[in-house]
Amino acid sequence: MSDGVKGKRFAYSPDLGVARVDPNVAELVRAAAARFTELGAIVEEVTIPWGKDEPELFRFLWPVSMTSLAQHLPKWEAEMDPGLVACIKEAAHSPVPRFLEMRRRKMDFVANIHRWFQDWDFPLTPCASVAAFPVEKLNLGHQATDWDESSWAEFTPQFNMPWNPAASVPCGFTPAGLPVGLQIVGKRFDDLGVLQASAAFEQLQPWADKRPEF
């Protein structure tokens, strides 16, 4: 059960220093992180030094990455997700000097994360700040822009930018019966390690037999 986990160092962060996490989600993820000690792992709650730098980078660079999709708006805008449309349109106002500065900051951000991984094998975080909300809503209503998902998706962009492998593993259910995900992140290229840690947790806390009631 402990293959790939025993003796490994797990850094548990409840919020990456920036996220506002629903209390039900936070409680389930905290309990899940602690269970890795049952597998012989070392688990410590940590303060993340680079977490505060990501939101601004994400809000600028994500729309810029969508620039090539602008050519499809004249024909398909009415059929596209409104949040995606807003994201594409925002990039039209991004000046080149600002892009170059943010790209430089992104490289510093990536370097800081990989340097941090010299002391840790796996960060553990919530996968999302909240459980599922109504499908017709784009976000939680206190976001910075029409497309901004950082009011609930604050944990995944942190590791997308530096190309770290990650997995979301169900770790419990809210009082409303909604599933909550534990995010397990590995060093760059350590996809196998992430899968081993995920499998070890799933054996310790099975979930595949759970089915929603209709």
pLDDT tens-digit map of 83-115: 888 888 888 878 888 888 988 999 999 999 999
* Distance (Å, whole) CA 177 – CA 173: 5
Query: Best-predicted range by mean pLDDT among 3-7, 45-49, 192-196?
Result: 192-196
Taking only the tens place, the pLDDT of each residue in 48-62 is 888 888 888 888 888
Query: pTM of the full predicted structure?
Result: 0.85
**What is the pLDDT, as a whole number, of residue 168?**
96
Pairing of strands 179-185, 166-173: antiparallel
Give DSSP secondary structure letters for 86-141: HHHHHGGG--HHHHHHHHHHHHHHHHHHHHHTTS-SEEEEESSSSS---TT-SS-S
CATH topology of domain 9-204: Amidase signature (AS) enzymes (3.90.1300)
Domain chopping of the chain, boundaries: 9-204
Q: What is the pLDDT of residues 62-80, one digit of tens each?
A: 888 888 888 999 999 999 9
Q: Are 77 and 140 in contact (CB under 8 A)?
A: no
DSSP structure class, residue 79: G
Question: For the CA atoms of the chain, what is the radius of gyration?
Answer: 19
Write the CB contacts of 100 (distance below 8 Å, at least 6 apart in sequence): none
Would you place residue 125 in the very low, low, confident or very high pLDDT band (cuts 50, 70, 90)? very high
